[in-house]
Chains A and B, each alone.
Chain A
Amino acid sequence: MKIRRSTGEIIFDTANFIMLAIFMAICAYPMIYVFNSSISDPQQMLMNRSFMLWPQGFSLEGYKQVLTNEKIFTGYLNTLFYVIVGTLANLLMTSIAAYGLSRPDLYGKGLFMKLIIFTMLFGGGMIPSFLLVQNLGLVDTRLALIIPGLISTFYLIIMKTNFESIPKEMVESAKLDGANDFQILFRIFIPVSKAVLAVITLYYAVDHWNDYMGPLLYLRSQDLYPIQIVLRDILLTNSMESMGPGADTGFAFSENLKYATIIVSTLPIMLVYPFIQKYFVQGSLLGAVKQ
């Protein structure tokens, strides 16, 4: 389709292009800066203060330090555990909830939904939740980062809306073949909802990967700490003093190490996105908002 553009339109399109390009540059620049710094030679970085559009010299010293640091390694493994086990548990419970609540003829459905939606508007808050987790004996266990957040109501609604669009006939014919509801959920609903499941998996995984408040509130032992707590010690408190006896207090990390840690801890979760991008099709999220 070839359309003749008026002068006004040409001006608008050009201005729009420039604005978006600038916005994109602003989004990308800090990430470029961090990446270039992580592979730069620390000596040279200190000497010339620069905008880091290119690396200053070249050194992988930061990465070498990151990869040999035991705390970072343990944190990394812990985070992997929380992300994998946590996300699987989230998906299991969320799809069970979405299936149950998407059954059209369920008696009491309205009440269940109201009770669930209400939790989006009001909650007990940090202190009662913290004490509840403590009373349940979950403090300082891995479960504390998995069980309290099993279902995110927002993602539940997205999945429920999606399940509601699956034709009734599929359920009916499966029932005639003698399948029970769990079988219908796992053999029919989940396989046909790949797109929305991919999106929700990404959401949950990012939430677990980046969770900071959970471990801050619930974990006490160093060996359970996820990478985010280790990152806080490296990037913000700039010391290992909270990282166990024997560590040098007041030991400052090289800038190089900081930048390398940022890359190592952020890149994996960023790289997941392009694989899921194709599922971010129009409408997969919209249904939920219109509810």
Chain B
Amino acid sequence: MKTKQEPVTLHLDPGARSPSKLEFIRKEIVRNKYVYLMIVMVMAYYGIFHYGPMYGLLMAFQQNYSLSHGIWGGEWIGFEHFRTFFDSYYFGRLLKNTLILSFYSIILGFPAPILLAILLNEVRSSKFKRVVQTVSYLPHFISIVVVVGILKTFSSLDNGLFNIVRSFFSLEPVMFFTEVDMFRPMYILSNIWQGAGWSSIIFLAALAGIDSQLYEAAKIDGAGRWKQFLHVTLPGIIPTIIVLFILRMGGIMNADMQKVLLMQTAPTYEVSDIIATFVYRVGVQQANFSYAAAVGLFNGIINLIFLIITNMISRKANQTSLW
């Protein structure tokens, strides 16, 4: 069978307990041959570009991966790289920076689009609503390079906007990009500026999906706008909020690595160096592949654990969960 290497076979073989089942599957494939051809293409893509790197994670348990000897030629050293990482000077700093950046991003960044969607939902003039929406979506289209570029130009010492504002309040000009205290606020606030409008789309869709009869019923029961909000609007979008929150928790270790990489300067490393930028530096720039893959694997596992825990809590507490 030409699909031998594909995940399809992974499934078909264990299923081949009895000849009749095998026969059934054969008939299915013949009957749906074009659909299976599509599936084979798709699963081949996922097999190579998603499961391939997962298989490649084996290098995390080797001395150092090299292109010439490949995965099986490497020397196995077990959890040595993980131990080195946990014992290293960087471990505490990287973990702390990653979590703090994520924590503030979630605390400040996650509610922002929800609040925006709720406020927009209460607007009566549809024209005003549309204008606010369109303007707030626009920053989403600006690339990260440009956003960081704008931040940098704005923080220029002599005539950058930030320092013009500072001098307006008679404060000393500051080199924002090399100032340790400025890195997190700049990162998080610019994220909210760029993303709040766009992320509100999904909540607005959820709000629009609320059955208008519920509002009618609430009005008949004498509920004012606030009561309607509490008893109809809020319950209506809570499931969406929870699902997105679970997904967000699954990315707790993924600050936007590209942005951090572009924003960080040597003087701010003590707050701006996060696990992902460390992986980039050690792996891609210093070619220390195995060690970097180990650190990346650690990062991915923490993400997965957070996702599973959040999902579990949510399922227990209010029956909403991803699975």
Could you tell me which residues of chain B, from 53 to 99, have a CB within 8 Å of some CB in chain A? Answer: 53-57, 59, 65, 67
In Å, the complex CA distance between A4 and B182 comes to 48
* B42 adjacent to A96 (CB under 8 Å): yes
* B146 adjacent to A26 (CB under 8 Å): no
* B262 adjacent to A232 (CB under 8 Å): yes
In Å, the complex CA distance between A255 and B158 comes to 12
* A128 adjacent to B293 (CB under 8 Å): yes
Q: With an 8 A cutoff between CB atoms, is B209 at the interface?
A: yes
Mark interface residues in A178-218 (1 if CB within 8 Å of B CB, else 0): 00111000000000000000000000001001101100110
Please classify how large the interface on chain A is, using the bins under 10, 10 to 19, 20 to 34, 35 or more.
Answer: 35 or more
Interface of A is mostly: helix
Q: With an 8 A cutoff between CB atoms, is A64 at the interface?
A: no
* B136 adjacent to A23 (CB under 8 Å): yes
* A30 adjacent to B304 (CB under 8 Å): no
* B193 adjacent to A30 (CB under 8 Å): yes
Q: With an 8 A cutoff between CB atoms, is B104 at the interface?
A: no
Interface size on B, residues (CB 8 A): 99
Q: With an 8 A cutoff between CB atoms, is A27 at the interface?
A: yes
Could you tell me which residues of chain B, from 219 to 265, have a CB within 8 Å of some CB in chain A? Answer: 224-226, 239-240, 243-244, 250, 257-258, 262
A16 and B206 in contact, given A96-B41, A97-B38, A124-B53 (Cβ under 8 angstroms): no
Q: How far is the CB of A185 from chain B (nearest CB, A)?
A: 8
Q: A93-B41, A130-B283, A285-B205 are in contact. List 16 more A-B contacts (CB 8 A).
A: A33-B154, A49-B158, A51-B161, A116-B42, A122-B54, A125-B53, A126-B284, A132-B53, A180-B34, A182-B38, A210-B144, A212-B144, A213-B258, A262-B146, A289-B244, A290-B243
The chain A residues found within 8 Å of chain B, CB to CB, are 6, 8-9, 12-13, 16-17, 19-21, 23-24, 26-28, 30-31, 33-34, 45-46, 49-52, 93, 96-97, 99-101, 103, 106-108, 111-112, 115-116, 119, 121-132, 134-135, 147-148, 150-151, 180-182, 206, 209-210, 212-213, 216-217, 228, 231-232, 234-236, 255, 258-259, 262, 265-266, 269-270, 273-274, 277, 280, 282-286, 289-290
